Amino acid sequence: MPVVVVANPKGGVGKSTLSTNVAGYFASKGHKVMLGDADRQQSSRLWLGLRPPTARPIATWDVGEDRLGKLPKGTTHVVLDTPGGLKGSHMKDVLRHADKVIVPLQPSVFDIFATRTFLDQLQQHRHPGLQIGIVGMRVDGRTIAADKLREFVESLGLPVLGYLRDTQNYIHLAAHGLTLFDVAPSRVEKDLEQWQGICRWLDA
């Protein structure tokens, strides 16, 4: 059972947006998906409550803020949305379960430096087989800011899986408990293109 963890110590960087859309992608492939929310704000859990019954099912994984329970049975794929400030024993517990970690990162110098220590800690606690990837959030991949982000991440030996633009599509879909993968591709064609690298990495 692959477990994908979405983590960054900063708030407001797009963890819940990534978590819900990763879960939506797995569900669109016919997998039995469970979405856990260890963040105090419970954004992903709120989103699940908005999800219409006609959409592909995504189940809730009840997890505590300080400790994860046993992985749920009857599920093929798990996505975990984590809180800001993830560290210490909680980080070790999360990484013990994880197969892949996605770190959303905005291309500002402040976000980059705030995330540097966290990325170093991820590398220290990395177990054999754990994959770590970065997703640039609210960024145009053709800009100097994106180049600086790419240089920073590559200096750490981590892959940039993709760059997601700043668009209202995520906001409008989230308000209805939906993802890019729940609507007609023609409605979100440009955004689905930006997800291609992320999806290949998730499937690898």
Q: Report yes or no: 119 and 102 within 8 Å, Cβ to Cβ.
A: no
- Strands 100-105 and 58-61 come out as unpaired
Under a CB-based contact definition with an 8 Å cutoff, are residues 163 and 139 in contact? yes
Q: Which amino acid is at 143?
A: T
pLDDT of residue 72: 67
Q: What is the pLDDT of residues 3-38, one digit of tens each?
A: 999 999 888 889 999 999 999 999 999 999 999 887
pTM over 0.85: yes
Can you give the pLDDT at residue 88?
Answer: 75
Structure tokens at 34: 């469970």
Please check whether residue 10 is in contact with residue 34, taking contact to mean a CB–CB distance below 8 angstroms: no
Sheet of 160-164: strand order equals: 58-61, 33-37, 77-81, 3-6, 100-105, 131-137, 160-164
The reported pLDDT for the residue numbered 66 is: 53
Query: What is the reported pLDDT for 146?
Result: 77
All residue ranges of the chain with pLDDT < 50 are: none
The pLDDT, as a whole number, for residue 132 is: 94
Taking only the tens place, the pLDDT of each residue in 135-147 is 999 887 778 877 8
Q: Where are the beta strands (DSSP E) in the chain?
A: 3-6, 33-37, 58-61, 77-81, 100-105, 131-137, 160-164
